[in-house]
Chain A
Amino acid sequence: MRHRMAVAVLALVGLLLSTYLLLYKLGFTGPLVCGAGGSCERVQTSQWGVFLGLPVAAYGVGGYLAILGVALLGLQERWQDRAEPTRWLAWLSGAGLAFTVYLKYLELFRIHAVCRWCVVSAVLITAIFGVSLAGLKKGKSVMGHA
């Protein structure tokens, strides 16, 4: 169950980060605390800051919330020994990682600016995906020994 705990903590950090970026996008915060250079604001205010009518950060909020929810569900007694939550976590974080790769492509090759917070989010979703895969592998090997 340790991997689900790790995923929950990472997803919570990602959720807070996405919420911060979303609040900025919606105009509820001052300038982004992002170090010198202004790359975060350039990325956020670019035409790619919105995807299918919603701020990109909103997808982050939704995605991390779903991952956090599944991880917490997987820690409940009746789900602890079941493999489904780990599988769902791998699918969700895999989708998140794919979206992140697309966003990184935009930052590097279209916007020509890299947002520091977006990099942190990319690291988080990659870590969540890695931990989820490790959990899947571990689950399979446990089942193999059973």
Chain B
Amino acid sequence: MAGGRSLKPFYITLGLVAAVGVVLIARSMGQPGGSASPSTPFPTPIAVAAGARGVVLGSESAPVEIAEYSDFQCPFCARFAVLQMPDIRDRLVANGRLRWRFMHFPLEGHANTRPAHLAAACAREQGRFWEMHDAIYQGQGDWAESRRPAGFFRDYAERLGLNPDQFRSCVETERAMPEVEADRLRGDSLGVNSTPTFFVNGRHLPEVPTYDQIKAIVDSIAPVAPAGAATPNAGTPHR
């Protein structure tokens, strides 16, 4: 093996391997905007609403429902919950245009996510799921790597004014865990394999949307009625 000339076939092979790899990667990046590849495992549309559980926020008569499969220890989920969710609640859910369904989807690799989901489910017992949801996501950086995450959730419960005895008994007996598991199984059956995953009226949304994108989706499905027209779907958010 002496001299550059005898290496030419090798460099050609190397170049071909690189070219094939770059083309495959470029294809995986999809169309501009990062939409799902054709290999997406989600059949569409999916009748997700029938029999679905989760925690609902918004009017039952809202024309659009978004189901979010979320993991409390997932950083992408926290970013979405902290940055996008407040606007979604205030500007789309509160006026009855959108119903939000939170589905528990604790990922197996997240050591502290199960107690987080249990704490949220226990807060739901006392009608304070969404407050606990916010506290857990906002504090994710504190408890995610902690060896004793339960203490953080107890503090959140105290701060939110939950009945401490009821909360403690719920956590200790894990009586709210079946609803977490039910959501998780529902997600498994739909092919959910990462978080957060969204379904708009049962149709898989292949990206993590911003508030603007969600508003555009809601606008396209249920355009705003002209000024002065009745808004029969408007309702107060409920838990």
Q: Which of A22-30, A125-133, A138-146 contacts B (4 or more CB under 8 A)?
A: A22-30
Asked if B229 CB lies within 8 Å of chain A CBs, one says no
Q: Mark A70-110, 1 if CB is under 8 A from B, else 0.
A: 00000101001000000000000000000000000000001
Flag if B110 contacts A47 (CB, 8 Å): yes
Secondary structure dominating the interface of A: helix
Complexed CA–CA distance, A43 and B194 (Å): 9
Flag if B14 contacts A77 (CB, 8 Å): no
Asked if B164 CB lies within 8 Å of chain A CBs, one says no
Asked if B230 CB lies within 8 Å of chain A CBs, one says no
What residue of chain B has the Cβ atom nearest to residue A106's Cβ? B109
Minimum CB–CB distance for A50 against chain B, Å: 9
Q: Interface range on chain B: under 10, 10 to 19, 20 to 34, or 35 or more?
A: 35 or more
Q: Which residues of A are found within 8 Å of B40, using beta-carbon distances?
A: 30-31
Flag if A110 contacts B109 (CB, 8 Å): yes
Flag if A29 contacts B34 (CB, 8 Å): yes
Q: Which residues of A are found within 8 Å of B24, using beta-carbon distances?
A: 16, 20
Complexed CA–CA distance, A71 and B161 (Å): 63
Known: A9-B14, A47-B109. A31 touches B2 (CB 8 A): no
Flag if A46 contacts B4 (CB, 8 Å): no
List B98-118 residues whose CB lies under 8 Å from chain A: 107-111
Q: Which residues of A are found within 8 Å of B37, using beta-carbon distances?
A: 29-31, 33
Complexed CA–CA distance, A5 and B14 (Å): 9
Q: Which residues of B are found within 8 Å of A48, using beta-carbon distances?
A: 109
Complexed CA–CA distance, A27 and B79 (Å): 13
Partner of B34, one of A16, A27, A33: A27
Asked if B135 CB lies within 8 Å of chain A CBs, one says no
Secondary structure dominating the interface of B: loop
Asked if B206 CB lies within 8 Å of chain A CBs, one says yes
Known: A8-B14, A111-B108. A77 touches B194 (CB 8 A): no
Complexed CA–CA distance, A113 and B18 (Å): 29
Asked if A134 CB lies within 8 Å of chain B CBs, one says no
Complexed CA–CA distance, A2 and B40 (Å): 40
List B3-20 residues whose CB lies under 8 Å from chain A: 3-4, 7, 10, 13-14, 17-18
Flag if A42 contacts B108 (CB, 8 Å): yes
List A27-77 residues whose CB lies under 8 Å from chain B: 27-31, 33, 36-39, 41-49, 75, 77
Q: Which residues of A are found within 8 Å of B110, using beta-carbon distances?
A: 46-47
Flag if B193 contacts A5 (CB, 8 Å): no
Complexed CA–CA distance, A18 and B176 (Å): 40
Q: Which residues of A are found within 8 Å of B52, using beta-carbon distances?
A: none
Asked if A137 CB lies within 8 Å of chain B CBs, one says no
A interface residues, Cβ below 8 angstroms from B: 1-2, 5, 8-9, 12-13, 16, 19-20, 23-24, 27-31, 33, 36-39, 41-49, 75, 77, 80, 110-113
Q: Rank and list the top 6 A-B pairs by shortest CB-CB distance, nearest first.
A: A38-B193, A46-B109, A16-B21, A1-B1, A41-B194, A111-B109
List 13 interface pairs A-B (beta carbons < 8 Å), by A numbering.
A8-B14, A9-B17, A12-B18, A23-B29, A27-B34, A30-B29, A30-B40, A31-B39, A45-B71, A45-B194, A47-B144, A49-B109, A80-B1
